[in-house]
Amino acid sequence: MSTTSYAVPEQSWQIELEIKRSKFLSFVANVSNRQDAEAFIRLLREQHPQASHVCWAYIAGPPNTTVRSMSDDGEPSGTAGMPMLKVLQHSGLGDVVVAVVRYFGGTKLGTGGLQRAYSEAVSAVLKELPTRLKVSRSTLSLVFDYEYDGSLGRLINRYDVADMQANYDQQVTVTLAIADSEFQAFYDEVIDVCSGKVVIETPD
Protein backbone atom coordinates (compact mmCIF):
# COMPACT_ATOMS: atom_id res chain seq x y z
CA MET A 1 0.00 0.00 0.00
CA SER A 2 1.75 3.09 -1.25
CA THR A 3 0.26 6.52 -1.79
CA THR A 4 -3.02 6.69 0.15
CA SER A 5 -4.50 9.64 -1.74
CA TYR A 6 -3.41 11.86 -4.58
CA ALA A 7 -4.70 14.43 -7.06
CA VAL A 8 -5.93 13.24 -10.47
CA PRO A 9 -7.46 15.05 -13.47
CA GLU A 10 -11.17 15.57 -12.92
CA GLN A 11 -11.75 15.77 -16.68
CA SER A 12 -9.92 16.08 -19.96
CA TRP A 13 -8.46 19.50 -20.75
CA GLN A 14 -6.62 21.22 -23.58
CA ILE A 15 -4.97 24.52 -24.48
CA GLU A 16 -3.07 25.96 -27.43
CA LEU A 17 0.24 27.85 -27.41
CA GLU A 18 2.14 29.47 -30.26
CA ILE A 19 5.91 29.65 -29.97
CA LYS A 20 7.91 31.09 -32.87
CA ARG A 21 5.10 30.32 -35.30
CA SER A 22 4.87 26.66 -34.23
CA LYS A 23 1.54 25.64 -32.73
CA PHE A 24 1.63 23.48 -29.62
CA LEU A 25 -1.69 21.86 -28.71
CA SER A 26 -1.58 20.43 -25.18
CA PHE A 27 -3.98 17.70 -24.09
CA VAL A 28 -4.35 16.05 -20.68
CA ALA A 29 -6.66 13.25 -19.49
CA ASN A 30 -7.29 10.88 -16.60
CA VAL A 31 -5.92 7.36 -17.18
CA SER A 32 -5.41 4.65 -14.56
CA ASN A 33 -3.53 2.12 -16.69
CA ARG A 34 -1.10 1.84 -19.60
CA GLN A 35 -3.78 0.66 -22.07
CA ASP A 36 -5.96 3.75 -21.52
CA ALA A 37 -2.96 6.06 -21.85
CA GLU A 38 -1.88 4.51 -25.14
CA ALA A 39 -5.46 4.57 -26.46
CA PHE A 40 -5.63 8.30 -25.70
CA ILE A 41 -2.39 8.91 -27.60
CA ARG A 42 -3.56 6.83 -30.59
CA LEU A 43 -6.78 8.83 -30.76
CA LEU A 44 -4.86 12.11 -30.89
CA ARG A 45 -2.67 10.78 -33.70
CA GLU A 46 -5.81 9.90 -35.67
CA GLN A 47 -7.29 13.34 -35.02
CA HIS A 48 -4.10 15.17 -36.08
CA PRO A 49 -2.67 13.24 -39.06
CA GLN A 50 -0.94 16.37 -40.42
CA ALA A 51 0.88 17.22 -37.18
CA SER A 52 4.68 17.34 -37.25
CA HIS A 53 4.94 15.52 -33.90
CA VAL A 54 2.68 14.05 -31.21
CA CYS A 55 4.88 13.85 -28.10
CA TRP A 56 3.57 12.42 -24.86
CA ALA A 57 4.18 11.30 -21.29
CA TYR A 58 2.08 9.54 -18.69
CA ILE A 59 1.96 8.33 -15.09
CA ALA A 60 -0.67 5.58 -15.05
CA GLY A 61 -1.34 5.13 -11.34
CA PRO A 62 -0.22 6.87 -8.13
CA PRO A 63 2.52 9.53 -8.50
CA ASN A 64 5.16 7.03 -7.32
CA THR A 65 4.14 4.21 -9.68
CA THR A 66 6.66 2.70 -12.09
CA VAL A 67 3.94 2.55 -14.78
CA ARG A 68 5.14 5.60 -16.66
CA SER A 69 6.51 6.31 -20.10
CA MET A 70 7.20 9.10 -22.59
CA SER A 71 8.11 9.70 -26.25
CA ASP A 72 9.88 12.40 -28.28
CA ASP A 73 8.03 11.21 -31.42
CA GLY A 74 10.76 12.28 -33.82
CA GLU A 75 11.93 15.42 -32.00
CA PRO A 76 15.65 15.38 -31.06
CA SER A 77 16.24 12.87 -28.25
CA GLY A 78 15.47 14.23 -24.79
CA THR A 79 13.83 17.45 -25.98
CA ALA A 80 10.15 16.56 -25.57
CA GLY A 81 9.14 13.38 -23.74
CA MET A 82 11.53 13.67 -20.79
CA PRO A 83 10.84 17.38 -20.11
CA MET A 84 7.11 16.58 -20.26
CA LEU A 85 7.48 13.66 -17.84
CA LYS A 86 9.52 15.79 -15.43
CA VAL A 87 6.72 18.37 -15.29
CA LEU A 88 4.25 15.57 -14.52
CA GLN A 89 6.51 14.18 -11.78
CA HIS A 90 6.81 17.58 -10.11
CA SER A 91 3.05 18.19 -10.34
CA GLY A 92 2.22 15.46 -7.81
CA LEU A 93 -0.57 14.20 -10.09
CA GLY A 94 -1.36 10.54 -10.71
CA ASP A 95 -3.54 8.76 -13.28
CA VAL A 96 -2.49 11.34 -15.87
CA VAL A 97 -1.47 11.42 -19.53
CA VAL A 98 -0.33 14.50 -21.44
CA ALA A 99 0.25 14.84 -25.16
CA VAL A 100 1.55 17.83 -27.07
CA VAL A 101 0.67 18.02 -30.75
CA ARG A 102 3.10 20.26 -32.65
CA TYR A 103 2.49 21.89 -35.99
CA PHE A 104 5.86 23.17 -37.21
CA GLY A 105 5.82 26.85 -38.15
CA GLY A 106 9.09 27.05 -40.08
CA THR A 107 11.40 28.31 -37.35
CA LYS A 108 13.68 25.79 -35.61
CA LEU A 109 13.80 26.17 -31.84
CA GLY A 110 17.02 24.28 -31.07
CA THR A 111 17.31 21.66 -28.35
CA GLY A 112 17.08 24.11 -25.44
CA GLY A 113 14.16 25.90 -27.07
CA LEU A 114 12.32 22.64 -27.64
CA GLN A 115 12.81 21.53 -24.05
CA ARG A 116 11.43 24.85 -22.80
CA ALA A 117 8.54 24.78 -25.26
CA TYR A 118 7.37 21.27 -24.34
CA SER A 119 7.81 21.93 -20.61
CA GLU A 120 5.83 25.16 -20.94
CA ALA A 121 3.10 23.42 -22.97
CA VAL A 122 2.57 20.84 -20.21
CA SER A 123 2.87 23.34 -17.34
CA ALA A 124 0.30 25.60 -18.99
CA VAL A 125 -2.33 22.88 -19.47
CA LEU A 126 -1.81 21.54 -15.93
CA LYS A 127 -2.16 25.05 -14.48
CA GLU A 128 -5.78 25.26 -15.65
CA LEU A 129 -6.64 21.57 -15.16
CA PRO A 130 -9.50 20.80 -12.73
CA THR A 131 -8.41 18.06 -10.32
CA ARG A 132 -9.96 15.92 -7.61
CA LEU A 133 -8.56 13.79 -4.80
CA LYS A 134 -8.45 10.04 -5.39
CA VAL A 135 -8.34 7.75 -2.37
CA SER A 136 -6.22 4.66 -2.89
CA ARG A 137 -8.14 1.55 -1.83
CA SER A 138 -7.67 -2.18 -1.33
CA THR A 139 -10.43 -4.73 -1.92
CA LEU A 140 -11.28 -7.13 0.89
CA SER A 141 -13.66 -10.06 1.05
CA LEU A 142 -14.98 -11.04 4.49
CA VAL A 143 -16.66 -14.41 5.11
CA PHE A 144 -18.31 -14.89 8.51
CA ASP A 145 -21.26 -16.42 10.38
CA TYR A 146 -24.61 -14.63 10.62
CA GLU A 147 -24.14 -13.93 14.34
CA TYR A 148 -21.48 -11.32 13.50
CA ASP A 149 -23.52 -9.54 10.81
CA GLY A 150 -24.82 -6.74 13.03
CA SER A 151 -21.57 -5.94 14.83
CA LEU A 152 -19.55 -6.04 11.59
CA GLY A 153 -22.13 -3.82 9.89
CA ARG A 154 -21.71 -1.18 12.61
CA LEU A 155 -17.92 -1.51 12.34
CA ILE A 156 -17.96 -1.03 8.56
CA ASN A 157 -20.04 2.14 8.92
CA ARG A 158 -17.22 3.75 10.89
CA TYR A 159 -14.68 3.34 8.10
CA ASP A 160 -14.05 4.85 4.65
CA VAL A 161 -15.34 2.05 2.44
CA ALA A 162 -16.74 1.96 -1.09
CA ASP A 163 -18.25 -0.56 -3.54
CA MET A 164 -19.66 -2.74 -0.77
CA GLN A 165 -21.60 -5.87 -1.75
CA ALA A 166 -23.09 -8.51 0.54
CA ASN A 167 -24.08 -12.08 -0.28
CA TYR A 168 -26.14 -14.12 2.19
CA ASP A 169 -25.71 -17.87 1.75
CA GLN A 170 -24.63 -20.47 4.31
CA GLN A 171 -22.38 -17.71 5.60
CA VAL A 172 -22.28 -13.97 4.93
CA THR A 173 -19.77 -12.73 2.34
CA VAL A 174 -19.08 -9.00 2.24
CA THR A 175 -16.79 -7.51 -0.40
CA LEU A 176 -15.66 -3.89 -0.03
CA ALA A 177 -12.91 -1.44 -0.92
CA ILE A 178 -11.25 0.05 2.16
CA ALA A 179 -9.11 3.20 2.11
CA ASP A 180 -5.46 2.13 2.31
CA SER A 181 -4.86 4.59 5.15
CA GLU A 182 -7.39 2.63 7.26
CA PHE A 183 -6.57 -0.87 6.04
CA GLN A 184 -4.60 -2.19 9.01
CA ALA A 185 -6.87 -0.74 11.69
CA PHE A 186 -9.95 -2.12 9.92
CA TYR A 187 -8.33 -5.54 9.45
CA ASP A 188 -7.43 -5.78 13.14
CA GLU A 189 -10.89 -4.67 14.29
CA VAL A 190 -12.66 -7.18 12.04
CA ILE A 191 -10.67 -10.04 13.57
CA ASP A 192 -11.35 -8.70 17.07
CA VAL A 193 -15.12 -8.29 16.52
CA CYS A 194 -15.41 -11.85 15.12
CA SER A 195 -13.11 -13.35 17.76
CA GLY A 196 -10.95 -14.57 14.87
CA LYS A 197 -13.86 -16.50 13.27
CA VAL A 198 -13.68 -14.70 9.94
CA VAL A 199 -11.96 -15.41 6.63
CA ILE A 200 -10.39 -12.28 5.14
CA GLU A 201 -9.26 -12.47 1.53
CA THR A 202 -7.67 -9.85 -0.70
CA PRO A 203 -8.80 -10.55 -4.29
CA ASP A 204 -6.38 -7.88 -5.52
- Burial call 105-139: b when 16+ CB within 10 Å, e when fewer: eeeebeeeebbebbbbbbebbbeebebeebebbbe
Nearest to 8 by CA among 109, 110, 91: 91
* Spatial separation of the C-alpha atoms in residues 88 and 86, rounded to whole Å: 5
* The model scores a pTM over 0.85: no
Pinpoint the residues of the chain covered by CATH 3.30.70.240.
Answer: 136-201
Q: Each residue of 67-122: pLDDT tens digit?
A: 999 999 999 999 999 999 999 999 999 999 999 999 998 888 999 999 999 999 99
Q: How many CA atoms lie within 13 A of 132 on its CB side?
A: 8
Nearest to 14 by CA among 132, 129, 114: 129
Q: Is the pLDDT of residue 136 over 60?
A: yes
Residue 1 pLDDT class (50, 70, 90 cuts): very low
Mean pLDDT of the chain: 93
Pinpoint the residues of the chain covered by CATH 3.30.230.30.
Answer: 5-133
Q: Which CATH superfamily is domain 5-133 in?
A: Impact, N-terminal domain (3.30.230.30)
> What pLDDT shows up at residue 5?
85
Question: Radius of gyration (Cα) for the chain, nearest Å?
Answer: 23
Residues 6+ apart with CB under 8 A from 162: 137, 176, 177
Cβ pair 80, 72 in contact under 8 A? yes
Neighbours of 24 (CB within 10 A): 23
**In the CATH scheme, what is the code of domain 136-201?**
3.30.70.240
* Spatial separation of the C-alpha atoms in residues 51 and 190, rounded to whole Å: 57
